Structure formats: C-alpha cells, structure tokens
C-alpha cells in the first residue's frame, strides 16, 4: 500500500491576519491563530459587595439618628402642642354644630290667636304686629275659653254681650282715644272695656303701648289689664273695673261732696307709690308721661290706681346713672304751661 501523500501547506505570509476588535482590545487575549479567535473573551466580574462591617455600621448610625430625633425635647413639645390644638379644634367644632342644631330645632313661639290673653311679661311689638296680620275672624274660639274669662281670652262677641251691645247706659267715659264701657263677664266679674277708635293710627299706637306696659306691671296702685281683643280693625282693652270713677270727677263735677284732707293725702300717696314703682322698681323702667286727675281711678275706699298708659314709654337700659332726655312734647296741653313755649326744652327724668 503506498504511503499517503502530504497535504500542500499554504504559502507563508509576511504579516499575520488581523484580529477581531473584541479580541484586539481585550487584555491578555491569546494571540495564537485558530478558530478560538472567533469567540470574545468572557465579561469582567461585577464589583464585590461592601464589607459587612461597613453596612452594619451605617445601619446603626441611621437608627441612632432616628432615635435621637424622637427623644429630642423640642420634638416632643411640638407633637404634644399639635395634638392639644387638634383636640380643642375638634371640641369647638362639635360645640358649634350642637349649638346651631339646638337653635335650629328650638320650638317656635306659640302662634298668636285673634284674641289673646295677656301674660305677666306681656307681648312684644313684633308679636302684636304678627297678631294683626293673622287676624281674620274672632268668631271661632274654643268653648272652654268662652267659659273661662279669667284666662284673658275674649272674642268680640263676648265683649258685645258683656257691655250689652256697647249701649249708652254702659258708657262710663270717653276721650280722644275712644269710649269706655262697663261690662260684666260670664263669671260675674265687672270689667271696664275700652273700645279704641277703629282705623286710627293714634289708637293703634296707644293700644300697643297699653298692652306692652300694663301687662308687665302688677301693683296695688296700678290698674290691671285683664285682657284684650283684636277683631279686624277693632281694638279693645279689658281692665279691672274701678267703681269710684276718676279723681277729676270728684274734684270738678258739680254737686259732688268735697274730698276730705285725709282722703286727698291718701290719693296723693297712692299715686306716688304707683309712679315710684314704674320708675324705680319696674324692670324695664316705664315712664307714664300723661299723669293727670282724669287718669287716676279711685275705688270705694279712695285708693288710687294710675291708669291710661297710652303715652307711656319703656326704657330697657337699667343703668342707675342713665338719664333720659326728650325734646318731644307729650301729655295733655294745659297741665304744663311751658308746653306752649316756642323755645325747645328738655325733660330730664332721673
């Protein structure tokens, strides 16, 4: 068998073949030719992690800083103040909401009827105005009220019956305000019914003034208001009946016996006590502004009772150092001669 023929070798070259880019830039890459030069060298290993001692030291430092901040007195004070302010704000908000809700659900005042009774405190001007707007007909009132006049609730029909149809025989007085009639209620109580002139602005003002003042006062020497009634444009006031008429009647009427000195002194003292109560002991203070003999009623024992509060004025300032100055002339012309003086003047009421 003949020997194998030798393979022809490539001719030698003067320069070796170029290396791939990855191999040429790699450090320590093998320079031997062959098929190993076609594969790039492995990637460099990642950097080693920090030593455990350093990481533990950093972690301990952060915890120490956090603990220091929490234990700082300034931080504790700020936190406590913030919590306190927040609690107070929440409490105030709850109180405001509760108060507003309570005010919203507060029961409204009793609806004013056409003919209403007079309480001790007396109705206000607003209630009187509401009463006038709500009045349409006074004929419909409960029967129990009709049988109980002491409650102060009267209908126009009740007062018509009590005064016998406002007859002339029951007329006991008259003036610029209207007429006064004697009446008797179903219980047998005698009363004086003042019927103001219908549609008069002065009568309306006097009606409100009477109700707002007399209903506030209760005194031995002041006439008592039993009740009142509003019927459309009609305004009626019901007083206690004082049987011995007025001081003016006993002083100036013909064929009347002369009042003895003891009775005159008793009348003067009683009138002064009534006025002193209005000025000093009544709250709020009430100024009558129309004191005269015709407005002082007498009972059978000649005890004086001040009446007719149509021109009275209420002062709500109860300070003892307050004085009232008025430039408006009030009262009856002739009782004060200086009323006719053209120069403005002042009333100083202590």
Under 8 Å between Cβ of 302 and 198: no
pLDDT of 170 strictly over 90 = yes
Does residue 211 sit in helix, strand or coil?
helix
- State what percent of residues in the chain have pLDDT above 90: 24
The residue that leads in pLDDT, 97 or 118, is 97
Q: Band the pLDDT of 1: cuts 50, 70, 90.
A: low
pLDDT value at 71 more than 90: no
Query: Averaged over 135-154, what is the pLDDT?
Result: 45
Which token pair is 304? 């004086």
Please report which confidence band the pLDDT of residue 28 belongs to, taking 50, 70 and 90 as the band edges: very low
pLDDT greater than 80 at residue 61: no
Whether 190 and 172 have beta carbons less than 8 Å apart is answered as no
How high is the pLDDT of residue 299? 92
How many angstroms separate the CA atoms of 153 and 118, rounded? 8
Mean pLDDT of 257-283: 92
29, pLDDT greater than 90: no
2-16, 196-210, 235-249, 283-297 — which one is most confidently predicted on average? Answer: 235-249
Mean pLDDT score across all residues of the chain: 70
Lowest mean pLDDT of 39-43, 190-194, 237-241, 245-249, name the range: 39-43
- 134 has pLDDT over 50: no
Mean pLDDT of 34-50: 58
What is d(CA 42, CA 26) in angstroms, rounded to the nearest whole number? 10
246 has which bridge partners?
A: 297
pLDDT category at 81 given cuts 50, 70, 90 is confident
Residue 195 marked in a binding site:
yes
**Residue 332 above 50 pLDDT?**
yes
Question: Which one of the listed residues 121, 290, 308, 317 is annotated catalytic?
Answer: 290
Cβ-in-10-Å burial (0-12, 13-18, 19+) of 235 comes to buried
Q: Provide the percentage of residues in the chain whose pLDDT is more than 70.
A: 53
Can you state the angle between helices 201-214 and 125-134, rounded to 10 degrees? 130
Active site residue 290: yes
Burial class for 217, CB neighbours closer than 10 Å (0-12, 13-18, 19+): buried
Domains, the chain, with CATH or none: 156-318+339-347 (1.10.510.10)
pLDDT at residue 267 greater than cutoff 90:
yes
Which of 119-123, 220-224, 297-301 is predicted with the least confidence, judged by mean pLDDT? 119-123
pTM: 0.51
């Amino acid at each position: 068998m003949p020997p194998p023929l030798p393979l022809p070798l490539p001719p030698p070259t003067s320069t070796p073949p170029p290396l791939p880019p990855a191999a040429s830039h790699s450090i320590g890459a093998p320079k031997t030719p062959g098929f190993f030069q076609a594969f790039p060298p492995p990637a460099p290993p990642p950097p080693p992690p920090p030593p455990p001692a350093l990481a533990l030291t950093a972690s301990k430092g952060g915890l120490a800083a956090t603990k220091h901040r929490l234990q700082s007195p300034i931080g504790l004070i700020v936190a406590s103040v913030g919590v306190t302010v927040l609690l107070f704000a929440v409490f105030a908000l709850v109180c405001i909401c509760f108060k507003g809700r309570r005010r919203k659900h507060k029961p409204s005042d009793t609806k004013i009827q056409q003919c209403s009774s007079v309480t001790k405190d007396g109705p206000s001007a607003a209630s009187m105005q509401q009463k006038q707007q709500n009045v349409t007909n006074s004929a419909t009132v409960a029967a129990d009220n009709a049988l109980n006049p002491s409650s102060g609730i009267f209908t126009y029909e009740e007062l018509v019956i009590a005064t016998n149809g406002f007859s002339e025989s029951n007329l006991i007085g008259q003036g610029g305000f209207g007429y006064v009639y004697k009446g008797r209620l179903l219980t047998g109580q005698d009363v004086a019914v003042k019927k103001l002139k219908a549609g008069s602005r002065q009568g309306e003002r006097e009606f409100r003034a009477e109700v707002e003042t007399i209903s506030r006062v209760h005194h031995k020497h002041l006439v008592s208001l039993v009740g009142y009634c509003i019927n459309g444009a009609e305004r009626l006031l019901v007083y206690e009946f004082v049987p011995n008429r007025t001081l003016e009647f006993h002083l100036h009427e013909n064929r009347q016996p002369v009042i003895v000195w003891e009775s005159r002194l008793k009348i003067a003292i009683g009138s002064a006590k009534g006025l002193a109560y209005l000025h000093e002991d009544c709250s709020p203070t009430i100024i009558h502004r129309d004191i005269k003999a015709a407005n002082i009623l007498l009972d059978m024992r000649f005890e004086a009772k001040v009446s007719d509060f149509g021109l009275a004025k209420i002062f709500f300032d109860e300070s003892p150092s307050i004085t009232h100055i008025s430039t408006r002339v009030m009262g009856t012309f002739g009782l004060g001669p200086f009323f006719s003086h053209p120069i403005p003047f002042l009333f100083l009421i202590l």
